[in-house]
Amino acid sequence: MINLTNFEKNSLLTIAKQLISYPTEIAYRKQMAPNDECAEFTKELLKEHGFTVKSFTVRNEDIGKDVHSVLAWKGELVPRIMFLGHLDVVPADPSAWKQDPYSPHVEGDRLYGRGAADMKGPVASMITAFLDLDPGDFGTVMLLFSGDEEEGGFYSIPPIIEFLKSRNLLPTYVINGEPSNHEIVTKRRGLAQFQVILPNKKQTSVGRVNKQVFRTAKSGDQSLHTARFTPGADVHALIAASKTLFGKKIIHVEGDFLKENRLPQEVIVHYIEETMDESSSLLNHEITYSVGLTIAFRALAGITGINFPTEPSIVGRSIAPNILEIDDEIIKIAFDIRTMTNDTKAIQKAIHEHFSQFITPTSSLSLEIRLLRNSEMMNVDPEHLLPKTLVKAASEEGITVPHVGEKIGGGSSDSRFFTNLGIPAAEIGPIHDGSHSPNEWVSISSLMKLTIVYRRTFELLTESLTQDPW
């Protein structure tokens, strides 16, 4: 077992606290992206310790903000081992925190602050692991810290990959420090977000207006993130409404439809209750309803059963209609789909075929399906040299790895950009709680152990690989 020096321990905590102090919040829907202060601090720190450093600034024209990322390397030989992290964080609501989320503080073994776990603590571990390392004749250590992972990484990783290709510097292996409670992740489901567009055609019918409220119910984890939605165990409010009111004529739908990747917590449906009861005939009258919404509800009732080819997944697949936008002219339904496939055309075809069967010639409705966004799956064999080396390095440090394989209840990560180039990647991160939630914390002792694990993994991989596999 290797021990960190007191200097390294102090450096780790100091760097982590400094990184957390920068409020690098990102949320494109709110026109938010961080400035370059955190990236500049990271760049200068690495330059001072002998790294070749290149910073990347890419403009997101949609929100008029820049995205800042840092790439650094030390050494000139292969294999090239990349350690991957990100500097951006999800927004924090200070009123929900015990203390200022950007004033990091320590309680026992816990370091608190927004990004402590996801993912400035792991970034600090990676930096500390290699600050004073001389790769010598063994290989090249690379550090890549992206600036928009929480929004998909699209303005960080692709341009950096193009740079690496142009310089013949693509990594041999990638180790990502996403918080994992010491699990080793080699597999993540892909993401595909689609929008179904129908005209909001109106007709009238006789009956009474009724209203029913439906709520999303989670069986375990109370997160409303689609990645943590388990069909069969959890209840999606909009799907439950469509099943319960199948065949009813829908007038209007309300709900907290906030983001494509967030389940609505509550859905309120106004519909026509048709009755043959003569005693209530005086209560019946002519009511205008939406043909588009009525057809949409019939389709949504069976949406989770649409068929398209996928790779096996221990958590299955999830299809969540999380956004419903209605105006006088059109209806838009946005789906967040998590599954082990990169074939978005097959998914799009399946959605189109499913909705089409509910559109009759007499309804005269058009149907459009748009791909909004997709992220490729990550799929690396758990028996590959990379995860097996991580297990060995972790065990040497006294860490019992609880699981190697698919991430359960997690979204996508930047690792996928590399695995889809055929570059093996695996993830191991610290013990933590509250990432994306108030009072986020990370275990300091876990960060210290991982500092050694990252360094030892580099040593083991460079010892075992004597030539460039590319």
Residue 466 reports pLDDT greater than 60: no
pLDDT of residue 454: 98
User: Which of 150, 155, 152, 153 has the alpha carbon at shortest distance from 65?
Assistant: 155
List all residues 6 or more positions away from 435 whose beta carbon is below 8 Å from its beta carbon.
Answer: 117, 118, 179
| CA atoms of 467 and 142, how far apart (whole Å) | 17
pLDDT of residue 6: 79
**Region of 140 on the Ramachandran plot (φ > 0 left; ψ -120 to 50 alpha; else beta):** beta
What band does 277 get if pLDDT is binned at 50, 70 and 90? low
Specify the amino acid at residue 77.
L
Q: How would you classify the pairing of strands 80-86 and 378-379? A: unpaired
Active site residue 88: yes
The answer to whether 248 and 297 are in contact (CB under 8 A) is yes
Crossing angle, helix 6-21 and helix 121-130, to 10 degrees?
A: 140
Say how far residue 266 (Cα) sits from the centre of its chain. Answer: 23
Output the six-digit token pair for 265. Answer: 């917590």
User: Which of 11, 70, 63, 12 has the alpha carbon at shortest distance from 38?
Assistant: 70
Residue 179 reports pLDDT greater than 70: yes
Q: What is the pLDDT of residues 391-419, one digit of tens each?
A: 999 999 999 999 999 998 778 899 999 99
List all residues 6 or more positions away from 242 whose beta carbon is below 8 Å from its beta carbon.
Answer: 296, 297, 298, 299, 300, 301, 303
| CA atoms of 125 and 454, how far apart (whole Å) | 8
b/e map 420-439, b = 16+ CB within 10 Å: beebbbbbbbbbbebbbeeb
Residue 468 reports pLDDT greater than 60: no
List all residues 6 or more positions away from 119 whose beta carbon is below 8 Å from its beta carbon.
Answer: 85, 86, 149, 177, 178, 179, 429
Q: What is the pLDDT of residues 76-85, one digit of tens each?
A: 899 999 999 9
Q: How would you classify the pairing of strands 368-375 and 425-428? A: unpaired
Query: Average pLDDT of 60-82?
Result: 96
| CA atoms of 110 and 443, how far apart (whole Å) | 5
pLDDT of residue 138: 84
Between residues 139 and 436, which one has the greater pLDDT?
139
Query: Average pLDDT of 173-195?
Result: 97
pLDDT of residue 416: 97
**Which among 149, 178, 336, 427 is annotated as catalytic?**
149
Q: How far apart are the first and last CA of the chain?
A: 33
CA angle 453, 407, 186 (to 5 degrees): 55
List all residues 6 or more positions away from 108 whose beta carbon is below 8 Å from its beta carbon.
Answer: none
b/e map 73-85, b = 16+ CB within 10 Å: bbbeebbbbbbbb
Q: What is the pLDDT of residues 333-377, one digit of tens each?
A: 999 999 999 999 999 999 999 999 999 888 889 999 999 999 999
| CA atoms of 67 and 147, how far apart (whole Å) | 6
The answer to whether 233 and 414 are in contact (CB under 8 A) is no
Query: Average pLDDT of 177-191?
Result: 97
pLDDT of residue 470: 36
Half-sphere CA count of 308, side-chain side, radius 13 A: 25
103 to 8, 39, 374, 443: CA distances (angstroms): 22, 18, 35, 17
What band does 469 get if pLDDT is binned at 50, 70 and 90? very low
What does pLDDT average to over the chain?
94
Say how far residue 163 (Cα) sits from the centre of its chain. Answer: 24
**Which among 25, 88, 178, 406 is annotated as catalytic?**
88
What band does 50 get if pLDDT is binned at 50, 70 and 90? very high
What band does 223 get if pLDDT is binned at 50, 70 and 90? confident
What band does 29 get if pLDDT is binned at 50, 70 and 90? confident
Query: Average pLDDT of 122-145?
Result: 93
Which residue segments constitute the domains of the chain, with CATH numbers given?
Answer: 6-189+377-464 (3.40.630.10), 190-375 (no CATH)
The answer to whether 154 and 309 are in contact (CB under 8 A) is no
Residue 94 reports pLDDT greater than 80: yes
